[in-house]
């Protein structure tokens, strides 16, 4: 059976051999506008097939620092119950953490970040960096407090993130209410609206974010609608006037050295972008996050190559074998098909 994995990485069968796992979260049952993000993990994987390993600026190769694999998708049994879906996501990511893996998640709508934070914030609230057009701190939508417009209000209420160590970057767009903006600001979050970001630039924004989150454990969530729809039209709630792809890349690269314990890219909705540039943008941002995570994760390992010399062989060969280099699909166990939602 041939199925794509993120950057053609090996499928994770034995978690003890890996340091970082790409995990798909194909769920969009909490959207308030356009659906389709359930297809995000599949298309981001596909778009990632020709992303090379060595970073053009830092010259860092994440696959030489850590053992990186693809864990497939979170399996769901209760798709029509948001709370139940969130519980399944939390269980999956908690198990990954218990096995010593750092996760890079691909959504899925932005509600999926809440259960991931529940799985990770086991020792206290985390620092939080959010690239997004929206604060996602509204209270409820049409009777639900679990929509993709509310996850970080819930995260503050549950003590999962420290609002005084939280930065929201790229916020813009007219609203029917100031409720979300006011909640973020009242709780101490740094809300960097797009007009201010444009004035100070990505380097200054990153410097401020570094100062705010400090040296403690931090999570980074990248909503693809943080980008201007000229660069990412395929998303559920597009807002004009966003970050360019170059600004986003610069911003992420300037965050190197922060103690990241996880990250995600969410809200890629392929049905609204027949060109595929949104999935490519999502895959590229995920690669940048992978570099940040591997740089941090490698500091925890016994040696620079990851968990074991034996494990490093299959990962390294995958990226240096020309046969694989020109194939967008790789041979992986049939069990993987049960972990991918179509």
Query: If you average pLDDT over residues 132-148, what whole number do you get?
Result: 88
Return the closest-CA partner of residue 13 out of 119, 117, 102, 99.
99
Range of the domain at 88: 2-339
Structure tokens at 293: 């995570």
The 10 Å Cβ neighbour count of residue 187 is: 17
Asked if 296 and 66 touch (Cβ cutoff 8 Å), the reply is no
Mean pLDDT, rounded, of the chain? 89
Count of structural domains, the chain: 1
Share of the chain above pLDDT 70, in %: 87
Task: Indicate the pLDDT class of residue 148, thresholds 50, 70 and 90.
Answer: confident
Q: Which residue has the tokens 């990485």?
A: 9
Alpha-carbon gap, residue 23 to 106, rounded angstroms = 6
Lookup result for tokens 């006037």: 241
pLDDT at 313 > cutoff 60: no
Tens of pLDDT, residue by residue over 42-85, are 999 999 999 999 999 999 999 999 999 999 999 999 999 999 99
CB atoms within 10 A of CB 321: 12
Judged against a pLDDT cut of 70, whether residue 3 lies above it is answered with no
pLDDT digits (tens, 9 = 90+) for 76-119: 999 999 999 999 999 999 999 999 999 999 999 999 999 999 99
d(Cα 193, Cα 211) in Å, to the nearest integer? 18
Q: How confident is the model at residue 87, as a pLDDT? A: 98
Q: Are 297 and 67 in contact (CB under 8 A)?
A: no
pLDDT, tens digit, for every residue of 162-213? 999 999 999 999 988 898 999 999 999 999 999 999 999 999 999 999 999 9
Per-residue model confidence (pLDDT) at position 207: 98
In eight-state DSSP terms, residue 100 is T
Beta-strand ranges (E) seen in the chain are: 2-3, 20-25, 68-73, 102-107, 126-131, 161-171, 190-193, 218-223, 260-266, 330-331
| pLDDT exceeds cutoff 50 at 239 | yes
| Mean pLDDT along residues 239-261 | 98
At 167, list the tokens. 């930065």
Mean pLDDT across 16-33: 96
Angle, alpha carbons 187-282-268 (nearest 5°): 75
Closest to 22 measured CA to CA, from 111, 125, 117, 93: 93
Sheet holding 126-131, edge to edge: 68-73, 20-25, 102-107, 260-266, 218-223, 126-131, 161-171, 190-193
Residue 108 CB-half CA count within 13 A:
30
Q: What is the pLDDT of residue 147?
A: 87
Q: What is the pLDDT of residue 242?
A: 98
Whole-angstrom distance, CA of residue 283 vs CA of residue 213: 25
Bridge partners, residue 190, by sequence: 167
Rounded Cα distance, 304 and 63, in Å:
10
pLDDT at 318 over 80: no
Note the pLDDT of residue 263. 98
**pLDDT attached to residue 307:** 66
Whole-number pLDDT of residue 2: 53
Q: What is the helix, strand, coil percentage profile of the chain, to 5? A: 40, 20, 40
pLDDT above 60 for 241: yes
CATH of the domain at 62: 3.40.800.10
Which residues contact residue 329 at a Cβ distance below 8 angstroms, ignoring those fewer than 6 apart? 2, 3, 4, 49
């Amino acid at each position: 059976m041939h199925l794509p994995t993120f950057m053609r990485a090996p499928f994770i069968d034995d978690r003890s051999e890996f340091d970082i796992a790409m995990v798909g979260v194909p769920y969009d049952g909490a959207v308030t506008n356009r659906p389709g993000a359930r297809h995000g993990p599949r298309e981001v994987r596909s778009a990632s097939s020709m992303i090379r390993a060595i970073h053009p600026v830092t010259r860092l190769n994440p696959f030489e620092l850590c053992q990186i694999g693809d864990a497939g998708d979170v399996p769901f049994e209760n798709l029509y119950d948001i709370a139940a879906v969130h519980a399944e996501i939390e269980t999956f990511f908690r198990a990954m953490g218990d096995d010593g893996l750092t996760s890079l998640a691909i959504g899925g709508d932005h509600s999926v970040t809440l259960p991931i934070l529940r799985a990770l914030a086991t020792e206290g609230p985390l620092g939080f960096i959010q690239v997004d057009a929206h604060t996602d701190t509204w209270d409820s939508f049409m009777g639900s407090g679990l929509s993709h417009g509310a996850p970080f209000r819930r995260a503050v209420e549950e003590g999962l993130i420290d609002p005084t160590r939280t930065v929201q970057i790229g916020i813009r767009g007219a609203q029917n209410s100031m409720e979300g903006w006011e909640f973020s600001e009242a709780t101490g979050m740094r809300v960097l609206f797009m007009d201010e970001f444009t004035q100070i630039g990505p380097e200054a924004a990153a410097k401020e974010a570094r100062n705010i989150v400090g040296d403690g454990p931090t999570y980074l969530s990248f909503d693809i609608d943080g980008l201007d729809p000229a660069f990412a039209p395929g998303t559920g709630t597009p807002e004009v006037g966003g970050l360019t792809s170059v600004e986003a890349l610069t911003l992420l690269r300037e965050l190197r050295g922060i103690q990241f314990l996880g990250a995600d890219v969410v809200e890629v909705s392929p049905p609204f972008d027949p060109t595929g540039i949104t999935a490519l943008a999502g895959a590229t941002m995920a690669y940048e996050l992978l570099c940040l995570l591997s740089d941090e994760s490698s500091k925890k390992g016994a040696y620079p190559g990851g968990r074991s010399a034996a494990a490093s062989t299959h990962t390294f060969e995958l990226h240096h074998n020309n046969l694989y280099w020109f194939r967008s699909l790789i041979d992986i166990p049939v069990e993987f098909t049960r972990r991918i939602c179509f």
